Amino acid sequence: MKTLTALFFIVGISLFACTDEQTENNNTNNQLPECGNGIVEPGEDCDSNASSFSCAEEGFFFGAPSCSNTCTVSFEECSNTLSVDTGGDNFNTAMAVAGNHDIHMIVNWQAPRLHMVFEKTLVHNFAEDGTNGPLSAKSFTSLDSNEAGEVFIAALDSRGAPDELIPDGPVLYKLDGAGDLVKRSEILTENNYNGAQYYMKLKGDTILLYFVDVSGIYDVEQYRRLVVLKLDTEGNLSGEYQITTTTDSEFYLVPNCDLKSDGSIICTYNGKILSINDGEITEIVDLETNIDFCVPISLFVDSDDSIYLSCSKYDATGINNDINKIKHFSANGELIANLDTANDINQGTFFKNQAGRLFVVGTDGKDQPTCYLTEIINGSLGETIDLNVPCLNTQVKSDRQGGYLIATVDQIETPNILLVHSIIID
């Protein structure tokens, strides 16, 4: 009897223990996911963050997905347009894309111009968070990037030691693909200039900085002096050229320069196309008398050294002559063709994509301008595409991911709002 009772007791304990373990397993298997514990459990898209998702999955370039309080992923912050309130007029926007895909920009028309950096995963509002670049200068003026993703920035800043009497002048900053400063080069020219706005053209290992000297702003002859500086990517000066013009038209005082394959320079200034070769400056085209009138807005030298000009619809006195032509010249300045765009592209900007195709982006010249994209094929215009975005002072750069970024402003409605649009060109 004692043996039977003991056996029952042992069996009873074993059954009871087994029942408790089975119950515990059932609770674990049937437990509901706990949102907010940082662990992605069955039934949850995410928990606390959405780092495993990207806006690119949904076809967007800017922004980053977020994780909701119900542990579902949200793409509401994703967009193909970056909108930034810079607090100033952005008529003089310049853009470059670094190797890490950060967007470097120069904003504001009036000095001091700012160097700002935008990460594609963060939609910044400058007025709210004050996000700026890592550099400091009196006024940043232009920038560009090369195929390696390095960014080069021109600025007006102090030069020399504090006890040296060197006037403020051009300074070149070189950043690596991660946006870190590599070098600051003070460009010490033979003459002292006051360039309120330095323009930049980067081609291969050569940088052109060009500007109108305003040091003698009340001296008409000096004010009409175009200065072109030729540098390497380390900031070493290899050429310094001065071009003085006598034309009275101030409409022409915005210069454009580009490089030919042999290293010579082509510039438009004061109604002329000029060639600079081994220090010799030659006028190759008079745009006031050549075929029909052209106020050049942008200049592009193609790989065959032929020259494309985008003309304004306004003449030198501001009268609308409704020209809207793209002119194509040979390397020595002979007119090849006047190209009329389907939508009268005005203020066009030229760019080549990674496949070597040449495009022009510009406005339709109307009161509420919109951007149109046209391909130039073998010297002829192809199909024109309406991009359905505001278009003024347009900059176009590769996004280094197969697409393109168009920086522009709605000058009529909100000139302080900088817009960057992401587009794909088939």
* CB of 120 closer than 8 Å to CB of 62: yes
Question: Which long-range contacts link 318-322 to residues 24+ away (Cβ below 8 Å)?
Answer: 318/251, 321/293, 322/365
Comparing CA positions, the residue from 148, 212, 196, 208 lying closest to residue 172 is 208
Q: Are 295 and 315 in contact (CB under 8 A)?
A: yes
Give the global pTM: 0.81
Decide if 83 contacts 162 (C-beta within 8 A): no
Question: Of 256, 254, 411, whose CA–CA distance to 327 is shortest?
Answer: 256
160 by DSSP, 3-state: which?
Answer: coil
Q: Are strands 335-340 and 206-212 parallel, antiparallel or unpaired?
A: unpaired
Contact criterion met (CB below 8 Å) for 384 and 399: no
Q: List per-residue pLDDT tens for the chain, 426 residues long.
A: 444 444 333 334 443 444 444 433 333 455 678 898 999 999 999 998 898 999 988 889 888 899 999 999 999 989 898 887 776 665 567 888 888 888 888 876 565 677 777 777 665 444 444 455 667 788 888 899 998 999 999 988 888 877 777 778 899 999 998 888 999 999 988 887 877 688 999 999 999 999 888 765 555 555 568 899 999 999 999 999 998 765 555 445 678 999 999 999 999 887 789 999 988 999 998 877 655 667 788 899 999 999 998 877 655 555 555 555 788 999 999 989 888 655 555 667 888 887 888 988 877 656 556 788 888 888 888 888 888 777 766 788 888 877 888 887 766 666 567 788 888 876
DSSP letters spanning 227-270: EEEEEETT--EEEEEEEE-----GGG-S-EEEE-TTS-EEEEET
